């Protein structure tokens, strides 16, 4: 069976794969994601192309050092009011972001790619539209107090698989993509490539 590698330090992505019954190795890509992101944004790259480029960067970096293995790379981009939103650096920034998103809709783009020996062999982008309900300041303060810095791992400062679901009134799109990895298309691709049993 083909060796699978997740090119990510994301606990949520690893948990999704574990829950699906996959056996894989975690190899963080150690790329300067922030610099690459800033350069691509400065060039005017579209949000979906940015997500795809960052996912590719991670997968290719790891796959060049692990020839023959199938390497999974993924990245998420949050788009709000036409702007690309980066991860919050602290809880104060998270509070500001949640207050901005409150009562509004935003888009979450999640790219996933598979690379082998430095070349991309498959790619997919999932798009979701999320409508956040109008949040009271008390609710935001309570939410942040109970979750603390753990929410900083999510670009939107919510973790939909937990209490973060309470932030929303409507969600349209790939649920697993929102969690960090479009799982069903990925599993289908791995089966097509013989990396999973059919």
pLDDT digits (tens, 9 = 90+) for 16-27: 999 999 999 999
Average pLDDT over the chain, rounded to an integer: 94
85's CB contacts (< 8 A; 6+ apart) are 78, 79, 97, 106, 155, 156
Task: State how far the Cα of 133 lies from the Cα of 124, in Å rounded to an integer.
Answer: 29
Active-site pick, 32, 49, 52, 75: 75
Question: pLDDT value at position 1?
Answer: 65
Give the per-residue pLDDT at 54.
Answer: 95
Q: What percent of the chain has pLDDT over 70?
A: 99
pLDDT at 72: 98
Tens-place pLDDT, residues 141-160: 999 999 888 888 889 998 88
Kindly report which listed range (43-57, 110-124, 155-169) carries the lowest average pLDDT score: 155-169
**9's tokens:** 């330090």
Sign of torsion over alpha carbons 62, 78, 11, 113? negative
Specify the pTM. Answer: 0.92
Q: Is the domain 4-192 a CATH 3.90.950.10 member?
A: yes
- The residue assigned the tokens 């199938």 is 70
Is-contact 41 84, C-beta < 8 A? yes
Residue 81 a catalytic site member: no
**Tokens describing residue 149:** 């810095």
């Amino acid at each position: 069976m083909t060796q699978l590698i997740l090119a990510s330090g994301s606990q949520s992505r690893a948990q999704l794969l574990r829950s699906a019954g996959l056996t894989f190795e975690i190899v963080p890509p150690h790329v300067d994601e922030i610099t690459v992101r800033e350069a691509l944004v400065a060039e005017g790259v579209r949000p979906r192309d940015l997500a795809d480029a960052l996912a590719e960067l991670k997968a290719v970096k790891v796959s060049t050092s692990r020839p023959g293995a199938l390497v999974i790379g993924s990245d998420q981009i949050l788009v709000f009011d036409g702007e690309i939103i980066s991860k919050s650096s602290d809880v104060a920034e998270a509070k500001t972001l949640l207050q901005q998103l409150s009562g509004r809709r935003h888009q979450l783009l999640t790219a996933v790619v598979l690379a082998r020996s430095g070349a991309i062999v498959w790619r997919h982008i999932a798009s979701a539209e999320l409508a956040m309900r109008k949040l009271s300041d008390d609710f935001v303060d309570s939410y942040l107090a109970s979750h603390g810095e753990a929410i900083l791992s999510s670009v939107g400062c919510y973790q939909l698989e937990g209490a973060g679901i309470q932030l929303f009134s409507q969600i349209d799109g790939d649920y697993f993509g929102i969690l960090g990895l479009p799982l069903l298309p990925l599993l289908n691709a791995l089966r097509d490539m013989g990396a999973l049993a059919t």
